[in-house]
Amino acid sequence: MTPDHRTPLPTSARTVFFVSDGTGITAETFGHAVLTQFEMKFRQVRLPFIDTLDKAHDAKRKINEAATDGQRPIVFSTLVKTDLSHVIRQANGMHMDLIQTFVSPLEQELGVKSTHTVGRSHNIVDSEEYKNRIEAINFSLAHDDGQSHKNLSEADVILVGVSRSGKTPTSLYLAMQYGIKAANYPLIPDDFERGKLPSSLPPFRSKIFGLSISPERLSEIRHERRAGSRYASIENCRYEVNEAELMMKREGIRWLSSTTKSIEEIATTILQEIKPDRRDY
Amino acid sequence: MTPDHRTPLPTSARTVFFVSDGTGITAETFGHAVLTQFEMKFRQVRLPFIDTLDKAHDAKRKINEAATDGQRPIVFSTLVKTDLSHVIRQANGMHMDLIQTFVSPLEQELGVKSTHTVGRSHNIVDSEEYKNRIEAINFSLAHDDGQSHKNLSEADVILVGVSRSGKTPTSLYLAMQYGIKAANYPLIPDDFERGKLPSSLPPFRSKIFGLSISPERLSEIRHERRAGSRYASIENCRYEVNEAELMMKREGIRWLSSTTKSIEEIATTILQEIKPDRRDY
């Protein structure tokens, strides 16, 4: 069990299991989205790699043990093999069997039988898509924070913005999740004085996307890093953000404000705007 | 539509929509896990941020237009608001409504009404969990490839292994997905000659986890980076892998082979083994 150490759970918290023959990431991502609809705390237990009958029986036992005070656990599962799924469903729980619920109707709709293999991770390491993701992570790391001007023509996206506007995590997320090669360049006072984008960027204008942020939020983030510095002061943040936004407008660069957006929301918006040709699904 | 440019789709490919009031990442992750069960190609279209009735009607129109030759599109949706979900379900498609399918039964089970707010991303940027993720990404970047020995006591996990065994992508994934602060250190010929772990590591043995890899795979990966080098030669890869595994055994470090494992599988295994106290769910 992995309760959050910062917010002790009431002893009566309902237990939720994420059971999978793979990593359990799909079950967990989906389970979280559903559970967020309820203003309750849950104890969460992930049971990954349940890929044999022995492990399934072991998992069933754990679920049964977690039932207390007449409260049965909630079980989100993505077990592709029906025999494993059958064992788990015998446990005393409320079952949300993601595969069985949707795969059978889909078989009917598509007029073909499912292969009942194990999730996406099956042979994933040898796939083109996976290799592209790893290559994109390496590219984004090498092109973080304007470190390298080499091979910018290979970039799918080039992010620009003031320091701490969210460029680095967004670049890494685009690479990790979508295999997008994302370079990023800081816009710094030198650029504002020259009134021009960093010199290697103009040839790639169509791939450039800007991140802005409210000066107040920026100042807060920068203070966490360098408390009391001029760099973090609200006056300096106002100056930099204003100059960066003027520059992006002048250069015709699309941009968004990252102030209230998560990495995932920023990345999704960028993909909608830039529509890179090379996008792995 | 975002067909993969490397494998042209047959014109008859069925269209799949991922419709969400947020980023669509949950719908897409889940949809992929289900669709992988079918040996068919699909045209995939993501429709994120569908959070008003106007946008819902627009999405409905797109779905209707994609129906061809009597083949209706498949629609995976995570729309929390019932009025939006109602509009989408009027479209001519096979609907996999993830929220409605599971939220109503859960309301019954839990004896409370759902809040019908929008997914996890609701106010996510201000949450402790989100801040921890960003902090962890910065930590993992600063401690990539043995770059910094500072604040190792803050690390949740320290990965070791020969160059190109998968440490960097795994560290970044742990940080991005779970808010785990993951440092990583390469094991290099100098360490093998001294017969000792890099000197800053022994105090943190309980957090150390090793990645190994088959020499053949390693040589392949290194050749892509530095073709024809001694570094990439199979003899050198055999030597390094053998020495690294001997050292990990000698030092009592748990390790796994990354040869056929995806980043997600490696990260899940590490979390099971290390069980860091600070784990964000």
B143-185: pLDDT as tens digits? 999 998 889 999 999 999 999 999 999 999 999 999 999 999 9
Q: How far A146 CA sits from the closest chain B CA (Å)? A: 15
Looking at domain B125-274, which CATH architecture does it have?
A: 3-Layer(aba) Sandwich (3.40)
Question: Do the annotations mark residue A166 as ligand-binding?
Answer: yes
Pairwise CA distance, residues A216 & A239, whole Å: 12
Task: Give percent of chain B with pLDDT exceeding 70.
Answer: 91
With tokens 């009607």, the residue in question is: B57
Are the C-beta atoms of residues A85 and A41 closer than 8 Å to each other?
Answer: no
Domain ranges of chain A: 14-110, 125-274
Residue of A33, A40, A120 with shortest CB distance to B119: A33
Same-fold call for A14-110 versus A125-274:
yes
Instruction: Note whether B265 contacts A105, CB cutoff 8 Å.
Output: no
> What's the token pair of residue B156?
């949740």
Which residues of chain B make contact with A263, given a CB cutoff of 8 A? 133-134, 176
Question: Do the annotations mark residue A199 as ligand-binding?
Answer: no
For A138, nearest residue in chain B (alpha carbons): B169
> What's the token pair of residue B148?
């910094």
Q: How far A226 CA sits from the closest chain B CA (Å)? A: 14
For B276, nearest residue in chain A (alpha carbons): A2
Q: How far B17 CA sits from the closest chain A CA (Å)? A: 13
What integer is the mean pLDDT of B28-54?
Answer: 90
Q: How many CA atoms lie within 13 A of B275 on its CB side?
A: 7
Instruction: Note whether A280 contacts B4, CB cutoff 8 Å.
Output: yes
Q: How far B111 CA sits from the closest chain A CA (Å)? A: 10
Residue of B14, B125, B133 with shortest CB distance to A261: B125
Instruction: Using the predicted structure, report yes or no on whether residue B115 has a pLDDT greater than 60.
Output: yes
pLDDT in tens, chain A (281 residues): 333 444 455 557 899 999 999 999 889 888 888 888 888 889 999 999 999 999 999 999 999 999 877 789 999 999 988 899 999 999 999 999 988 888 888 989 998 888 765 544 456 777 888 899 999 999 999 999 999 888 999 999 999 999 999 999 999 999 999 999 999 999 999 999 999 999 999 999 999 999 999 999 999 999 998 999 999 999 999 999 999 999 999 999 999 999 999 999 999 999 988 876 544 33
Instruction: Using the predicted structure, report yes or no on whether residue B254 has a pLDDT greater than 90.
Output: yes
**How far, in Å, are A124, A204, A228 from residue B261 at the CA level?**
8, 36, 45
- CA nearest neighbour of B47 among B93, B100, B2, B96: B2
Instruction: Using the predicted structure, report yes or no on whether residue B76 has a pLDDT greater than 80.
Output: yes
Are the C-beta atoms of residues A117 and A78 closer than 8 Å to each other?
Answer: no
Report the top-level CATH class of B14-110: alpha beta
Q: Which residue has the higher pLDDT, B117 or A48?
A: A48
What integer is the mean pLDDT of B21-34?
Answer: 88
Tell me what the pLDDT averaged over chain B comes to. 89
Structure confidence at residue B222 as a pLDDT band (50, 70, 90): very high
Pairwise CA distance, residues A84 & A97, whole Å: 12
3-state secondary structure of B96: strand
CA angle B27, B29, B30 (to 5 degrees): 65
Are the C-beta atoms of residues B248 and B255 closer than 8 Å to each other?
Answer: yes
Q: What residues pair up with A212 in beta bridges, in sequence order?
A: A257
